[in-house]
Amino acid sequence: MVERRDRLRELGELLRRLRKDAGLTGKELAQRAGVAQPTISRMETGQLLPTPETVDRVAAALRLDDDARAELDALLVRLRDEVSRLKGGLAGREAANAARVRSSKWMAVFSSAMIPALLQTAEYARLAVGIGRDVDEDDAAKAAAVRVDSQAVLFEQGRRFAFVLTEGAVRTWPGSPSLMPAQLDRLAQVSTLPHVRLGVVPWKVEAPVFPLHGFTIYDGTVSVVESLTGDLTLTETAEIEAHEEAFEAFAGAAVYGDELRALLGEIAADFRELAEQSHG
């Protein structure tokens, strides 16, 4: 909640700066945009999250250039994501993530800790959404269902996906080792899709960069870092470039195609042996 208030305050400061740069009073902006003056005032004081229609009206009235509109839109994306998650719990968070995925044509995903959401089996997803958290079981089940449904984008034309995982991410399992052979088979199947590039960095290969965290780059304009308490949305050019460089470094150290599937087969055999030992 505190982060949301901070974002609203940041939005208000941005709108006030843009209005002053345009040489307009609050009353003049309201008249030009065709909205009530109290709406402008509440937006600028961080008391109101505007609707998309209001944002479009205000942006047109301010005659924003591409850079200013991009700055405004990036902040609004972060705010609306936070509101969705606060209102909807885990399921709301997954719905917000799914909407962001659907709005993107190209994604680059790096993970050093777990299988990325778009590649998870239903059983893995059910455990992953709630692991390490005190969650409501119904909410977790709904969140997992939303996560699995969102994977349909992998098969849509006109999209491109690049996934790079460390072997550590592939070998880290929730629940039981017995669920992992099916999960690894899922990875092998996805790796054959023509518009999906999936690689794994073997543990025997020296890490090109220290993987402090995973991240997802959307269309080269936004990078999202997932944490236990929420997502960090990065939009600064330097931040995006740093993540792109790290992604390319790991991608260069990964194995793909038949070599990837052979590695996944070896790991699956290890999981089957581990599952047998746990039941022995």
pLDDT tens digits for range 84-138: 554 556 777 788 788 888 888 999 999 999 999 999 999 999 888 876 555 667 7
Q: How confident is the prediction for the chain on average, in pLDDT?
A: 87
Same domain, 115 and 45: no
Same domain, 105 and 155: yes
Same domain, 194 and 275: yes
**Residue 135 forms part of a structural domain:** yes
**Residue 83 forms part of a structural domain:** no
| Among candidate residues 45, 64, 83, the one where a domain is terminated | 64
- CATH number assigned to the domain comprising residue 269: 3.30.870
Band of residue 20 on the pLDDT scale cut at 50, 70, 90: very high
The reported pLDDT for the residue numbered 71 is 84
Same domain, 139 and 25: no
The reported pLDDT for the residue numbered 81 is 65
Judged against a pLDDT cut of 70, whether residue 247 lies above it is answered with yes
Residue ranges making up the domain that contains 54: 2-64
Same domain, 111 and 233: yes
The reported pLDDT for the residue numbered 2 is 44
Q: 217 has which bridge partners?
A: 108, 223
Q: What is the mean pLDDT of residues 75-90?
A: 65
Maximum distance among all Cα pairs of the chain, rounded to whole angstroms? 77
Band of residue 230 on the pLDDT scale cut at 50, 70, 90: low
- Provide the domain count of the chain: 2
Residue with tokens 């800790």: 113
H-run or E-run covering 127: helix 122-128
Dist CA 143 CA 82 (whole Å): 16
- CATH number assigned to the domain comprising residue 35: 1.10.260.40
Nearest to 169 by CA among 102, 120, 217: 120
Judged against a pLDDT cut of 50, whether residue 1 lies above it is answered with no
The reported pLDDT for the residue numbered 277 is 87
- Locate 130 and state its tokens: 């709630």
The reported pLDDT for the residue numbered 37 is 85
Same domain, 112 and 182: yes
105 neighbors 219 (Cβ within 8 angstroms): yes
Band of residue 234 on the pLDDT scale cut at 50, 70, 90: confident
Local structure of residue 247 (DSSP, 8 states): H
**Residue 163 forms part of a structural domain:** yes
Distinct helix (H) and strand (E) counts, the chain: 11, 6
**Residue 89 forms part of a structural domain:** no
| Among candidate residues 35, 64, 93, the one where a domain is terminated | 64
Same domain, 128 and 40: no
Judged against a pLDDT cut of 90, whether residue 262 lies above it is answered with yes
165 neighbors 116 (Cβ within 8 angstroms): yes
Residue with tokens 């009353």: 27
- Locate 218 and state its tokens: 């959307």
**Residue 159 forms part of a structural domain:** yes
**Residue 87 forms part of a structural domain:** no
Judged against a pLDDT cut of 80, whether residue 228 lies above it is answered with no
Local structure of residue 112 (DSSP, 8 states): S
**Strand 106-111 to 160-166 pairing:** parallel
Dist CA 166 CA 263 (whole Å): 12
Percent of the chain with pLDDT over 90: 48
**Residue 78 forms part of a structural domain:** no
Same domain, 14 and 153: no
Segment 133-164, tens digit of pLDDT? 556 677 778 888 889 999 999 999 899 999 99
Same domain, 116 and 228: yes
Where does residue 6 rank: exposed (0-12), middle (13-18), buried (19+ CB within 10 A)? exposed
Judged against a pLDDT cut of 90, whether residue 194 lies above it is answered with yes
Dist CA 274 CA 270 (whole Å): 6
187 neighbors 115 (Cβ within 8 angstroms): yes
Same domain, 58 and 159: no
The reported pLDDT for the residue numbered 280 is 61
Dist CA 233 CA 75 (whole Å): 9
What are the angstrom distances between the C-alpha of 74 and each of 19, 54, 71, 87, 223?
Answer: 18, 16, 5, 20, 11
Residue with tokens 């509101």: 83
The reported pLDDT for the residue numbered 187 is 98
Residue with tokens 């017995």: 178
**Residue 152 forms part of a structural domain:** yes
